[in-house]
Amino acid sequence: MSAAAKIRFENVEKRFALRGGEHVALGGLSFEVGAGEFFCIVGPSGCGKTTLLRIAAGLDAPTSGSVTIAHGEGERPENAMVFQGESIFPWMTVRENASYGLRMRGAPRTQIDEVVGHYLDRTGLNRFADAYPHQLSGGMKQRVSIARAFACDPEVLLMDEPFSALDEQNRTLLQEELLRIWDETKKTVVFITHSVDEAVTLGDRIMIMGADRGLPKAFVDVPFSRPRSVLELRATPEYGRLFYDIWAQLRDEIRAPGAEVA
């Protein structure tokens, strides 16, 4: 592993047995994500993005290959995931949800209160700390999910289309908030999205995945400086150029016959 690499995917392969054959979800991916890098993965639906992330999270096992996450100093979990759908526990309050990872690791109470308080503050959830999820909007629920992931201070943050269910305005707001929190922590992030827009806005580097056999098609560096302002960024011509380039590559994939196979 190169010195600065935080996550290393090595020949990661995932096959599912189907009736009358086999489906190759991931056909042997190898790439590295640098420490402190905000790494985005875009690709058509069914290209294996989520499978890849679940393998990195340890929720699924690869058929072959491996994912290695480098450990920094201190005792901390390897990864924390922000899930795509509603994933905060309906039977816990916002505070109980946000502190879940720390509590499961048996962190001392004072530390839990301090860290969770900080992230509830950063996500604007302080007022809702004792509310239950059914009292919150979709955007608020995803904020809880983000606070929960950041609060347990993992080596790597894994995000699986966390904003895909939100409306345009909320998505933009949450992207800005995520960038702000991320700027403070400089965590290594692997962020999956089907939105080119979102990948260009958030990422340092983007991997475009092909529709067929779940292989990387191209890696694109995002040249924008940080801290970024989502709106101002989108007003620049460079943004439009990059958006267009990536879309052009992705369009071929969506048209590819493999994309029809979910």
Partner 1 sequence: MGEATRDRILSVASPVALFVLWEIAARWHWIDTRFFPPPTSIARTFGEMIANGTLLSNTLTTLGRLAIGIVVGGVPALLLGLAMGLYRPIYALVDPLISATYPIPKSAILPLILLVFGLGEPSKIAMVAIGMFYPVVINTAAGVRQIDRIYFDVGTNFGARGWAVFRTIAFPGALPVIMTGVKLGVGLALILIAIAEMVGAQSGLGYLLWNAWQILQVNVMYVGLITIAVIGFVLTVLLNEIERLLIPSRTRR
Smallest gap from residue 23 Cβ to partner 1 (A): 20
- Where residue 257 falls (left for φ over 0; alpha for ψ -120 to 50; beta otherwise) is alpha
When asked if residue 72 is in the footprint of partner 1 (CB under 8 A), the reply is no
Write the binding mask 73 to 112 for partner 1: x where contact by CB under 8 A, - elsewhere: ----x-xxx-x-xxx-xxxxx------xx--xx-------
The residue with tokens 């996550």 is: 7
- The residue (of 83 and 163) whose beta carbon lies closer to partner 1 is 83
The whole-angstrom separation of Cα 253 and Cα 217 is 9
- Interface with partner 1 in residues 144-173 (CB under 8 A): 148, 152
Write the binding mask 25 to 64 for partner 1: x where contact by CB under 8 A, - elsewhere: --------------------------------xxx-----
- The residue (of 63 and 93) whose beta carbon lies closer to partner 1 is 93
- Give the pair of three-digit tokens for residue 143: 């904020």
Q: How many residues bind partner 1 (CB under 8 A)?
A: 26
With a CB cutoff of 8 Å and minimum separation 6, the contacts of 208 are 42, 43, 216, 217, 218, 219, 220, 246, 249, 250, 253
- The residue (of 63 and 87) whose beta carbon lies closer to partner 1 is 87
- Give the pair of three-digit tokens for residue 68: 């290695």
The whole-angstrom separation of Cα 20 and Cα 167 is 40
The whole-angstrom separation of Cα 91 and Cα 75 is 29
- The residue (of 72 and 90) whose beta carbon lies closer to partner 1 is 90
The residue with tokens 């690499």 is: 5
Smallest gap from residue 94 Cβ to partner 1 (A): 11
Neighbours of 59 (CB within 10 A): 13
Which residues form the interface with partner 1 (CB under 8 A)?
Answer: 57-59, 77, 79-81, 83, 85-87, 89-93, 100-101, 104-105, 132-135, 148, 152
